Structure 1
């Protein structure tokens, strides 16, 4: 059964917001704690996909304490649930942080529900263009 939700109170949105709050204060552990052992990760700063929590952890440990965004926003989060999976898409803007005055992103996270807990199994970050 597929459910499509445009609301801001789905569990995976709450999990993502909490992880983003930590991320924007230099702490990637929120995302590492949510990621499944078989997570796949795309990042525009990397030339290849990262496969597995061990590789994602190594990458995130290299940038721990270097990413700061004192002001940020999650824009238009959307969740589609299909069985024990949920696809979260949103735009993310950060301001006056370590990455520059303003960064605009698109994000897709695929979550898998196991034993009543949601795990990230796929992440894809990409840059988005300026608004027209």
Structure 2
């Protein structure tokens, strides 16, 4: 067994490796912009046709791209981090759909991020877009938020 890749990846065929690298690359490109205050990466990655979103600090599901676009406009230019870390990314794929899960860690100017992230991708014509996104706190019962800044 190779130690250079997780054990589940050893069951991947070459197409699955290419897809996993592509989807993780799309997510990393969106995060690169995100942590520079630019929300356009997620605005483009998240499906305009069919999108839902759960966030750790919002009690209800967002049910469309227009609503998330309005939310993104309220934080554009306000969230920054010098670096971030994606841990244990994993892509599980079926025909024209895939799920990316990972843990995200970043110390930002607003909050310390420690999230479990779930991105459900669907191939729309020739491009992959996220049709559902969930960002939930890792072990929320252990969290305290004494210094959280208001984002909106």
TM score, norm. by length of structure 1: 0.87
Greater per-residue strand proportion: 1
Please list every run of at least 4 consecutive aligned residues from structure 1 whose deviation after the TM superposition is greater than 3 angstroms: 4-9
The residue number in structure 2 matching 1:32 is 43
Shift of 1:94: 0.1
Structure with larger Rg: 2
Kindly report the root-mean-square deviation, in angstroms, between the aligned alpha carbons of the 2 structures. Answer: 1.9
The residue number in structure 2 matching 1:94 is 106
Count of aligned pairs = 125
Higher relative contact order (CA 8 A, sep 6+): 1
**Unpaired segments ≥5 residues, structure 2:** 1-7, 11-16, 143-152
CA deviation map 1:4-44 (0-9, x unaligned): 64869521100000000000111111011011121101111
Shift of 1:98: 1.6
Greater per-residue helix proportion: 2
**Unpaired segments ≥5 residues, structure 1:** none
Q: Distance in 1 between matches of 2:46 and 2:113?
A: 24
